[in-house]
Each structure stands twice: as structure tokens, then as C-alpha cells.
A = this chain, B = another copy of it.
Amino acid sequence: MFSRYFPILEWGRTYDRPALTSDLMAAVIVTIMLIPQSLAYAMLAGLPPVVGLYASILPLFAYAVFGTSRTLAVGPVAVVSLMTASAVGAIATPGTAEYWEAAITLAALSGVMLVVLGLLRLGFLANLLSHPVISGFISASGILIATSQLKHILGVKAGGETWPEMLEGLARAIANTNAATLAVGVPATLFLFWVRKGLKPALQRLGLSPRAAEMVAKAGPVAAVAASILAVIGFELEGRGVSVVGAIPQGLPPFALPLTEPGLLQALWVPALLISIIGFVESVSVAQTLAAKRRQRIAPDQELIGLGAANLASAFSGGYPITGGFARSVVNFDAGAQTPAAGAYTAVGIALASLFLTPLLFHLPHATLAATIIVAVLSLVDVKTPRVLWGYSKADFTAHAATIIFTLVAGVEMGVIAGVAVGLMLYLWRASRPHAAIVGRVPGTQHFRNVERHKVLTLPHFLTIRVDESLTYLNARWLEEYVLEQVAERPALRHVVLMASAVNAIDASGLESLEAINHRLVAGGIVLHLSEVKGPVMDRLRRSHFLDDLSGDVFLSQDNAFAELALRTGEIADPPDPLEARGLI
């Protein structure tokens, strides 16, 4: 029970030397990858780059204690950084102390929400984000992020929250492009693209193993950072208008306290909730994918607590909202991390970097960080999904498209909300119109099939309706309408059988509709029967008055119902061919 909330007690007991070696190895590689990423994503969030390092130290320890994934690497990620910029940018100006404090508060709020959701076991709420909505949101975020970084490549000032605003701002600013900045940004971007696509095959041709080639390629951004720092120093590019990171306070993260002003909390709680859920969904899918590869399991509700603790740790050490990142977790996994201790070792690496490396980053151009971000996020843009969804399901395509459009034109928060709302509306719409079929008997068998799809036998005094859905409040009204409509069309009818083989549950509203149908059919001289009611459904019906009031019987099988009622109404249950030929099919 206790170790459920402290997974470290589980894996810590069997921690041994081989695990230590693997974890240390993985930590070195992830650290190298994480330093430029952390700086870049903090910049994307509108914060001083060093905040990215702060957000990559204590949270990793916290996740190591509370997280259930063996290989998830937490820290600043692109989408959550964008959401932070959007939320905090609405109430403070980037670069000010208020902005940083609001970002810290956002991390604390998000941490508290995640822990509470985890303790209440409400992880299922993340299900509200369907795959098409998530994929649309990530794609659109990728486009937004890449566009937002173009100004750093061009060396201009341009703002904008939404995509049209950003494009407009860039169009107005493009005339002021700074040539020196462009001379850094464009090569850096091209180099990083090549590192991503071309370096690994090249290294393999040189004889490296695929895994080693992969690892070396991941260090590409570090090379870009080093090269551009040298270029800035060597060519004195700062004098030519290249914007650099500048002085970074050297040392460990400061102790910080989130603000508790009611007005601020009120402004931030919705974004904090959205960041929590998006972060959780992203993180859990990465964690699940990696766990499945080694036949391990993660516990989603405990993951909420793990991520919540990591965000609280981020807040109290001057960081901003974080979550599990896809790219770094895959690197961690591929580099052989065995336990969450690898994350703790990574944290030590980042801490060392923030103690000793920050002076070296003075001359790091913003353009290089922007190039890192652009190359990283463009891989998030998924151009195949819309076409696949269009072919498979128009409803899913609609939710996907709505999410993309709202995210681009109305911002990340509205994008998530619109995606959830459209997805839910379409779901409820379908749930309120379930599939039902009039069924008849396949001649010579005990099978009953849809009259519209099969050549089957039906009888004029006797109608069987198969409802292919649980009877819930969402479709209760539909059920009444559907049954009464079918009955109204058949004046000769004397018996109606509801075949419940696909009814997995009947809630109170569904029961009330069944009662209403029963009463109305009785008033019209028609007897209502049920058939093939499932065990748990029958158990529950016995706790109500419905079975006492039901005018007809409950048949164990539809075949029994057909035989028995055909006998009662004086019709032949399995007639010879001539009857079929008379059009009773």
C-alpha cells in the first residue's frame, strides 16, 4: 500500500551494480541532449534560458521517487512551454520578474492539480482527449512553435499569439532582417536538419553501430551550440546585431515560492488544468510505449502523482511547468536506462552544468536556440493523419480538424477545449442514436440477423428489435421513439421482443424508458418481451419493479422466443419454403 505511492521502494530494493552502470551511461547521454533543449524551451516559454536548467534538476529527483515509468525522462518540453508562454503572456510581460513568478505559480498550480487528480484516481479524465484531438493539437502546436521562432532566425522583433497574428507580424518585420543573425540561424537550422536525417546513415557508413550512430547524432545540437558560440566570438557577431543569451546567473536553482494572490490563481487555473492534462497525456503515452517494449507496466494514476511532484519540485526551485518528453525518453531508453535513478543522475549532470557551464553560454546566439526548437518541433507536425482520418471516420476527422483550426487561430487553450468539446459532442450524438436492427431468423438455423442485410424469416404478428447498445440516459429518448415508430408502422402487431444480446447495461433512465414502452404497448394491445438479457443486466432488473410490470416474458434465447410466440399466435415458427416464397421474409 505504502509502496504504491513510493515506487522507489519497489525498484530501489533490487538496485545493483549493473543497473547503476547502465543508468549512469544513459544519464550522460541525456544530459548532453538536455542542456541545449532546456535552454531553448525556456526561451520558447518566454523565460530566461537558465530557467530551463532549473526545471531540469529537482523535478527529475521528484519523478525518480514518485514515478512508475522506468525510463521516462521529465523536463521542459515544447508543447507545454508554448502553453506556458500563452498562459503567462496573457497576464505579464516576458522578461519581467512578474512573468517568471507567474510561470512558477503555474507550475505549482499544475503540480497540485496533478497530485489531486492522482489521489482521487481521476486519470480517466484524460480519456476525453481522443487520439485525433491530441494529434491535431500537437501538429498545430508544432506549426505555432516553429513560426514563433522564425523571428529569432531573422533577427527581428515580432509578436502574435495566434498563427495569423504571427504571420502578419513576420510579414511586417521581414524588411528589417538582420543579415548576421540570418548567417547564424540558417546554417544552424540546415545543420540540425542534416544531423537529424543524414548524420546517422553517414556514421553507420563510417562503421559505427546503428545504436552508437543514433547516440552521436543526438549530440548534434551540442555541436551546433559550440560552433555558433565560437562563430559569435570569432567574428564578433554581437556587434553586428546578433542577439545572444548573455550573462546567466551561475549556481544551483534558487528556492522559490509560488504566489498566492487570488486574482493570479483565478487567471491561471484553467491554463494550469489544461497544461496538466496535456502534459499527463503526452507523458503517459510515451511511458506506456516504452514500458510495453520491455513488458513492464506503469500505473497511470500514480503517474499523475509523479508528474505532480515533479511540477511542485520545479515550482519550488524557480522552474516552470514540465512533463515527460518523447525524444529524451526514447534516448534514455535506447541508452540503456534501467531505473528512474538514471533521471536522478541526469539531474546531477544538469546541476553541474548550471554550476560550471553557464559562463560559456554568454555568447550563445538566440538564433541557434531557435534553430534547435524549429528542427525539434517540425517532426511533431503530422501530415499523414488528416488523410487517414478522412478515409476512416468523418467524425474523428472533424474533431482533428477543429482542434487544428482552433489551435492555430484561437490559441492553444481554445484548441484543447474545442477539440474536447467537438469530440464529446460527436460522441454524444452517436451515443444518442445507437444502432438497432429488426431481426429475423436465418431459415433452418437458430441465428437471428438484420432483415436488411440477410434473407431471414419474420412473422407479421411478431417483431424482434435488436438494440446494439447499452440503454443509458443518452439514448433513452431515442429508444422510446424508435420502438413506438416501428410499432406504429405495423398495425397487425401483437408481440414485440427486445433482443438484448448487445445490451451491457441499463441505467435508471433506460429502465424508465423500458417501463414507458411497456405501458404504451399495453395500451395499444401489444405484449412486450425481452430475450437474451445478459446476467449482470438481469441481476439489476430484478432489483426493480420492471419485471413485475412487464406484460410479456423474458426469454433466455431469441430462438425460444421465436418458437414460443409463433406457437401462441398460431403461426409456424420454421415454415416450409412456400411460406417464405409468400413474402414473409
Q: Name the contact of A508 in the complex, choosing from B131, B478, B511 (C-beta under 8 A).
A: B131
Q: Which of A492-536 contact B (CB under 8 A)?
A: 501-502, 504-505, 507-509, 511-512, 516, 520, 523-524, 534-536
**Distance from A469 Cβ to chain B, minimum over Cβ atoms (Å):** 6
Query: In the bound complex, how far is the Cα of B367 from the Cα of A548, in angstroms?
Result: 45
Known contacts A484-B292, A540-B393: does B428 contact A127 (CB below 8 Å)? yes
B476, A544: Cβ atoms under 8 Å?
no
A543 at the A/B interface (Cβ < 8 Å)? yes
Q: Which of A404-436 contact B (CB under 8 A)?
A: 423, 427-430, 432-435
Query: In the bound complex, how far is the Cα of B300 from the Cα of A480, in angstroms?
Result: 12
Which residues in B have their C-beta under 8 angstroms from that of A488?
Answer: 295, 297
Which residues in B have their C-beta under 8 angstroms from that of A475?
Answer: 127
Please give me the residue from chain B that is nearest to A473 by CB atom: B130
Which residues in B have their C-beta under 8 angstroms from that of A429?
Answer: 124
Q: Name the contact of A396 in the complex, choosing from B297, B395, B507 (C-beta under 8 A).
A: B507
B392, A428: Cβ atoms under 8 Å?
no
Known contacts A392-B544, A473-B423, A544-B391: does B504 contact A434 (CB below 8 Å)? yes
Which residues in B have their C-beta under 8 angstroms from that of A129?
Answer: 473
Please give me the residue from chain B that is nearest to A133 by CB atom: B473
**Distance from A449 Cβ to chain B, minimum over Cβ atoms (Å):** 9
Query: In the bound complex, how far is the Cα of B128 from the Cα of A428, in angstroms?
Result: 8
Query: In the bound complex, how far is the Cα of B524 from the Cα of A430, in angstroms?
Result: 36
B536, A435: Cβ atoms under 8 Å?
yes
Please give me the residue from chain B that is nearest to A289 by CB atom: B516
A485 at the A/B interface (Cβ < 8 Å)? yes
> Interface readout for A454-495 with B: 1 if CB under 8 Å, 0 if not?
000000000000001110111111101100110010000000
Query: In the bound complex, how far is the Cα of B388 from the Cα of A423, in angstroms?
Result: 34
**Distance from A216 Cβ to chain B, minimum over Cβ atoms (Å):** 26
Q: Name the contact of A543 in the complex, choosing from B124, B392, B434, B472 (C-beta under 8 A).
A: B392
A389 at the A/B interface (Cβ < 8 Å)? yes
Query: In the bound complex, how far is the Cα of B126 from the Cα of A392, in angstroms?
Result: 29
Most chain B CB neighbours (cut-off 10 Å) among A485, A508, A511? A508
A391, B543: Cβ atoms under 8 Å?
yes
Q: Name the contact of A473 in the complex, choosing from B127, B300, B534 (C-beta under 8 A).
A: B127
B131, A473: Cβ atoms under 8 Å?
yes
A568 at the A/B interface (Cβ < 8 Å)? no
**Distance from A512 Cβ to chain B, minimum over Cβ atoms (Å):** 5
Query: In the bound complex, how far is the Cα of B131 from the Cα of A502, in angstroms?
Result: 23
Q: Name the contact of A393 in the complex, choosing from B132, B508, B534 (C-beta under 8 A).
A: B508
Please give me the residue from chain B that is nearest to A389 by CB atom: B508
Query: In the bound complex, how far is the Cα of B508 from the Cα of A129, in angstroms?
Result: 12
Which residues in B have their C-beta under 8 angstroms from that of A430?
Answer: 505
**Distance from A293 Cβ to chain B, minimum over Cβ atoms (Å):** 7
Please give me the residue from chain B that is nearest to A524 by CB atom: B295
Known contacts A297-B485, A429-B124, A512-B131: does B473 contact A507 (CB below 8 Å)? no
A13 at the A/B interface (Cβ < 8 Å)? no
A507, B428: Cβ atoms under 8 Å?
no
Which residues in B have their C-beta under 8 angstroms from that of A432?
Answer: 124, 127
Query: In the bound complex, how far is the Cα of B477 from the Cα of A476, in angstroms?
Result: 27
A288 at the A/B interface (Cβ < 8 Å)? yes
Query: In the bound complex, how far is the Cα of B488 from the Cα of A488, in angstroms?
Result: 53
Q: Which 10 A-B pairs have the closest CB atoms?
A: A130-B473, A396-B508, A131-B509, A124-B432, A468-B504, A292-B520, A130-B509, A127-B432, A131-B512, A127-B474
Given contacts A288-B480, A502-B504, 13 further A-B contacts (CB under 8 A): A124-B433, A127-B428, A129-B473, A130-B476, A131-B508, A292-B516, A292-B520, A292-B523, A388-B508, A391-B544, A450-B535, A501-B501, A501-B502
A-B contact pairs, 8 of them (CB 8 A): A127-B432, A127-B478, A130-B508, A288-B480, A295-B524, A391-B543, A453-B535, A469-B470
